[in-house]
Chains A and B, each alone.
Chain A
Amino acid sequence: MIITKQKDFNELLSSIGKEPIFIIGCSECATMCHTGGEKEVLEMKGALEDKNILVTGWVILEPACHLQNDKRILRKYKDEVNKANKILVLACGNGIQTVSEIIENADVIAGNDTLFLGEIKHANEFEKRCNMCGDCIEDLFGGFCPVSRCPKSMLNGPCGGSIDGKCEVDSNIDCVWDLIYKRLKEKKQLQLLKIIQEPKDWSKSTETRRVL
């Protein structure tokens, strides 16, 4: 899932100013992250109205990253959108851009920061799991991904800084190499770690591959 975090409200206010605004949420990831579902969109509406900002309307796109679907849904909200000078999008970076492709006359404001592709560990607790490198090699590492989960993306073993199974960069996160080692040990597959992994082929990544 794409993990997002709502921007600071005061920061948003300075981007919005005092102009009429239309709010857009997303039915998928932003709903799961509690950053742009119906509840959060209505809370945002209330908070903006408390600041005497006119909210011309709101909608939850299903999901915001679906261009044709968005066009169809937003057609029904044409009047409300036209009355607004600003469009606040509580979705991921993709959703914000899909909306920008459709609505050209108003300023699109990013209401969320997009953080990573990750896992919902517990309610409101998320952890990065994937860099979308375009060439999955998790089967070599007991089903864990050192590319996205090791801050140094090390493919040939841990750095020297892992402490009690935690990452030297952030003691709140597990050292993925510790997880890899323990899992492969359990499965009696430690010999996999003796193979020198060649440098990764980044030409398969989103750095160069932008359409499918």
Chain B
Amino acid sequence: MNYRSNLEQVLSKGKFAVTAEIGPPKGSDPDKITQKGEITKGCADAFNVTDNQTAVVRMSSMASSCILLKMGLEPVMQITCRDRNRIALQSDVLGASAIGIKNILCITGDHQSFGNHPESKGVYDIDSIQFIQAIKNMRDMGVFQSGDKILSGKPDIFIGAAANPFADPYEFRVDHLEKKIEAGANFIQTQSIFNVNKFNIWMDEVRSRGLDRKVHIIAGVTPLKSLKMTDRMRFHVPGVDIPEHVANRMKNSGDPKREGYEIALELINDIKKIKGVHGLHITALFWEDIIPSLVRESGFLPRP
């Protein structure tokens, strides 16, 4: 069996996968990427490279992914539909494939009004589900979204999508996941989980529809670094569900950084036992150096 990527191989062999997020720098210094790569090397099967996350201008996900590739790390290049129309999106997929990127995560993107250029015009020509479908058709049928034929080289991409088990309207969330799978998603990375009960309800429905056998579900975890970050994520980041008991633990702790780390360890421990979860995705915002110990203490080292 030929696997498109290391991530696909780990998941396909039924091993519990680990992915970690590497945020590109707000500048052109490549060392910022290589430093994060050095810290996290060997701790994950693939590394998500965000695409101007929260609509703040950063080094492009394509260039940052390229730097990781040169270091021997496997990127999951994130591409948002916010800044590109279908021409640019498909062009970037071809380019990414050409330089050796094997995993792409398709997301619609955070709205530009939240970022550092709120005056900008959003594109949103197609949405994430349509983008997933476009990549699948490029890869499997050799056609672009318009139906025009690809002439030389179909992009052999392992296609990822995001899922938020916590957002409203709550009843629609599994239908939404199902659409992403139908469109062509091979793996799913979820929104960071703090509310395990709610995640369990979502996973029950996922399993009852047999979706965990159609797609690899990788559950998101974010270690909380401080009380300030907890409050920001709780009240200002749309779609994040931090229950009161988690927020209280952070508030009442003498060492919130340590507490956040412990909470993350406990969450990972709970999540890895949930049937149908195929991996863990760690988003340690501005705290990448915590990833190695988090992965080690959770018993996920060495990586396959």
Contacts and interface: CB of A to CB of B under 8 A. Distances in A.
17 contacts: A153-B124, A156-B130, A157-B129, A158-B167, A158-B176, A160-B162, A160-B164, A160-B166, A160-B238, A162-B169, A169-B111, A181-B171, A196-B183, A198-B130, A199-B125, A199-B130, A200-B126
Interface of A: 151-165, 168-169, 175, 177-178, 181-182, 185, 190, 193-194, 196-200, 202
Given A157-B179, A160-B191, A196 B129 contact: yes
Nearest to A164: B168
Contact of B130 (A155, A177, A194): A155
> Chain B CB within 10 Å — which of A152, A177, A178 has the most?
A152
A108 B126 CA distance: 38
A165 B109 CA distance: 20
B120 interface: no
A163 B122 CA distance: 21
The 6 closest A-B CB pairs, nearest first, are A161-B238, A160-B164, A160-B239, A168-B238, A156-B129, A160-B167
A156 B179 contact: yes
B182 to A, nearest CB: 6
A175 B145 CA distance: 28
A155 B133 CA distance: 13
Contact of A175 (B129, B164, B168): B168
B238 A157 contact: no
Contacts of A158: 167-169, 172, 176
Contacts of B28: none
A197 B239 CA distance: 23
A134 to B, nearest CB: 15
B127 interface: yes
B111 A168 contact: yes
B86 to A, nearest CB: 6
A151 B130 contact: no
A163 B237 CA distance: 11
A196 B182 contact: yes
A155 B127 contact: yes
A68 B167 CA distance: 53
B175 interface: yes
